[in-house]
Amino acid sequence: MKQLRNLAAIAACLLAFAGCKKEISPAETEPQISEDVAASGRGVDENLRKTDGKVYTLSNAAGGNQVIVYDRSANGMLYLKASYSTGGTGTGGGLGNQGAVVLSTDGETLLAVNPGSNSISSFKVTGNGLNLKSTVASGGIMPVSITQYGHRVFVLNAGGTGNISGFELKPNNKLEPIYNSTKPLSSSASGAAQISFVRNGMVLVVTEKSTNKIITYRVNENGIPGNMHSITSATPTPFGFAPGQFGNIYVSEAAGGAANASTITSYHIAINGSIALNDGPLGAGQSAACWVVLTDNGKYAYTTNTGSGNLSSFRVHPFSGNLSIGHAIAATSGAGPIDAALSMGSDYLYVLNGGSHTISVYSVAENGNLQNIQTVDGIPVGATGMAAK
C-alpha cells in the first residue's frame, strides 16, 4: 500500500492537466468543520494553543471546495480552526501545481482556485476567520495557481489550451476581471504548474512541465501582459518555483520523475521580462522534486521530493542567485510530500503530504536545519496548496 501511495503522489506531481467573466454569488461563509478534517488537530498540547498565526490549505473536493484553516501556536504547532466554502468546486485529485492558495502581501486577503468549476475566490481575512467576498470565473479552464501583487491578481488556467488571466483586487476584497489581460501559454498542451509575480509586480513567470519551458510576461501599468519571453529549462519538467531578490527565481525540476535525477536551478528575470540561466542545475540525488520554497531572508531554499519522501535544503546567495547543497536529505516526511509553505519570519515550515494525507511541521534553525515537531493527520484526499502567516 505504501508503494501505491507513493506512485499516486508522484503521478500527482508530474500530471499535466490538459468561461465567461460572470460573477458567481458567494456561498455561505459560516465556518464548517467537515468530518474528514475534524481530527486533524490531534497532538497539540492545549496549554500551547496561543495563536501566533494561521496555515491554510484547500480541500479540492469535487463536491464543494473549502479552505481549511489551522491556528498556528506560539511553538509552530497546528490545530484545526475551521473550514470555509469557496463557492466553487475542486477535482478531488492531484493538480500538478504550486500556488493554489495564497495570502496577499498585506495579509488581508486570501485567494484560492476552484479547478472543478473554473473559478477563483477571494476572502477577507479577519480576526474571527475568513469572509468570502467573491467567486468569479477564472477566464479559462481548470485554474491551478494564483498570484497577487498590490491590487493585481493573475490566475494560471492549465486546462483546455491554457492561459493566464488578470483581475483587479478591489478595496472591498472583491475580484474584477481586467479587460484584455488573458494571454496564451507557449503551447496548447503546456502542462502549466505555477504562476507568480516577480520584480515588484512588473513581470509574471509561469512554469510549463510538458514543454520544459519557463515563460514570462512584462505587465504594463494597466495590468496588461506584453510579449512573451521563454527559456528551455536546464533540466526537464520545471515545476514549482520561489521568487527571490534581485529578479532571481529558484525552480525545482522533476526530470520527468526519473530516479535521483531532480534538480534545482536559479534563473534571472530582467525588468523587461527576459529570462536567463543563473546557476545550476544542482542535484541532491533525490526523485521528483516538485515544490520549492525560500526563506524570508533569501538564504535557504527547500524542495519537497515527492518520489523520495523527503526534503532537501540548499544554500542561496540572495544577490548572485548561486546555489549550493545544504542537506541532500534535510528531513523525512510523510508519503508523497507536495506543497509547502513557510511561516512569517520563516521560523516554521509546513509540508502537505499527498500520499499519507498529512501535514508535516518543522522548526527552522538559523542555519537552515529542520526539525520535525508535529504530524497533522486527517487531510482530505486531493488536498492542494499551502499558505502560512
* Average pLDDT of the segment spanning 8-36: 40
Which CATH code fits 2-18+23-388? 2.130.10.10
Query: What pLDDT was estimated at residue 51?
Result: 66
Which pLDDT tens digit goes with each residue over 121-150? 999 999 899 999 999 999 999 999 999 999
Please state the pTM of the whole predicted model. Answer: 0.90
- pLDDT tens, residue by residue, 298-352: 999 999 999 999 999 999 999 999 999 999 999 999 999 999 999 999 999 999 9
Other beta carbons within 10 angstroms of residue 228's beta carbon come to 17
The stretch 353-380 carries a mean pLDDT of: 97
Residue-wise burial string across 116-136, b where 16 or more C-beta atoms lie within 10 A, e elsewhere: bbbbbbbbbbeeebbebbbbb
Q: How high does pLDDT run on average in the chain?
A: 90
pLDDT at 9 over 80: no
Question: Residues near 236 by Cβ (< 8 Å), separated by ≥ 6?
Answer: 212, 253, 254, 255, 256
Lowest-pLDDT range of 40-49, 158-167, 254-263, 356-365? 40-49
pLDDT of residue 361 exceeding 80: yes
Taking Cα atoms as reference points, which of 202, 198, 38, 192 lies closest to residue 115?
192
The alpha carbon of 165 is separated from its chain's Cα centroid by a whole number of angstroms, namely: 17
Burial 195-211 (b: 16+ CB within 10 A, else e): bbbbbebbbbbbbbbbb
Q: For position 2, what pLDDT does the model report?
A: 41
- Alpha-carbon gap, residue 95 to 12, rounded angstroms: 6
Cis peptide bond prior to 171, omega within 30° of 0: no
